[in-house]
Structure 1
Amino acid sequence: MKDSQTDEELSLKLFVVLSRAVNSIKKRVEEDIKKLGLNPTEFAVLELIYNKGDQPIQKIGEKILIASSSITYVVDKLEKKKYLERQPCPHDRRVTFAVITEAGRTLMDEVFPTHTQDIKDIFSGLDRNEKKAMIEQLKKLGLPLQKL
C-alpha cells in the first residue's frame, strides 16, 4: 500500500476491504447454517434463545439486528418446525415469550459445537491478540455510529 494515499483514499480502501471480509464471512456461515435446514435468521433466533434463555418476542429483533416486522414470521416458522413455542408472560399480558422446545434444544445441543468450531476456523488466520485488537478497533469504529 502506498504511503502517499490520502486519508480519504485509505478510508475508501478500508470500507471495501471490510465489506468484502464481512461478505465472505457471512457467506461461509450462511452455507453452514443452510445445511441444518434453517435460514440465518431462524438460526440467529434459536441461538439467542438457546444461549440467553426465553426472550420477549418484541425484543428479539433488536438483539439479533433484524426488523421487528420479520420476527413474527420467523417465530411462526420455528414454531411449525417445533423448535420454539410462544408462552404468555405471567406478569404482563402484552408480552409473549419465545421459548425453546426440547426439539429445539436437542438440535442446538447437536449443532452448536460444530457452529462454534466453524466460526473458530473462519478466524483461524488471526491469533488471540489480533482478535482482541480487531474487536476493540471495530467497537471504536461502530459504537459512535450507533448514536447517530
Structure 2
Amino acid sequence: MMDNHKQTEEELALKLFVVLSRSFQTIRKRVEEDIKTHGLNPTEFAVLELIYNKGEQPIQKIGEKVLIASSSITYVVDKLEKKEFLTRKPCPKDRRITYATITEAGTELMDNIFPSHREAIADIFGGLQTEEKEVMIEQLKKLGYHAKDL
C-alpha cells in the first residue's frame, strides 16, 4: 500500500512540474509579446524596469536582480545606452563600481509603456480571482523555498 501511495505522489509531482512549466512558458510568451510591442526585448525591458522602479543600480548587481547571466548584462546595458535610455555613472567612492542610471528618455519611455504593461500582465493573470492569486503566490513561494533548501 505504501509503495502505491508513493508512486501516486511521484506521479502527481511530475504532473505538477509539467503543468507549471507549460503554463509558465505560455505566460512568459504572452508577456514577451507585450514587451516586444514597445520595441524592447525582454532582457532590455527587465533591466530598464528595475532601474525605473528602484533607481540607479551597480551594473555588477543587475544580473542577480533580473535573473539574467552577468555575462549578458554589459551587452544589454550597452544596447540601452546606445538607445539613450540608460547611462553609466562611475561610483565616486569605488572606481571598480559603475552604476547604470536611467536617462530622461528612458524615464519618458517607461512612463509611457509601464502602465499598459502592468495592464497586460493583469489581463494575462485575469483567469484567476484575487483570492486564487494570493493562495497561488503563497503556495509557489512555499514550493520555491522547499526546493531551495533541498
- TM-score between the two structures when normalised by the length of structure 2: 0.93
| 1:95-110 alignment runs, 5 A limit | 95-110=97-112
Letter in 1 for 2:16: L
Deviations 1:48-99 (A, max 9, x none): 0000000000000000111100000000000000000000011111110000
Deviations 1:86-129 (A, max 9, x none): 00011111110000000000000000000000000111111111
| 1:1-148 alignment runs, 5 A limit | 6-147=8-149
Number of aligned residues? 145
Point out 4+ residue stretches in structure 1 off by more than 6 angstroms: none
Across the aligned residues of Structure 1 and Structure 2, the Cα RMSD in angstroms comes to 1.3
Distance 2:140 2:45 in 1: 24
Letter in 2 for 1:112: F
User: How far 1:147 sits from its partner (Å)?
Assistant: 4.4
SS at match of 1:87: strand
Letter in 1 for 2:101: V
User: How far 1:137 sits from its partner (Å)?
Assistant: 0.5
Letter in 2 for 1:39: N
- TM-score between the two structures when normalised by the length of structure 1: 0.94
- Quote the sequence identity (%): 72
- Whichever structure has more helix as a proportion of its residues is 2
Describe the shift of the 1:147–1:87 C-alpha distance in structure 2 as closer, same or farther (beyond 3 A): farther
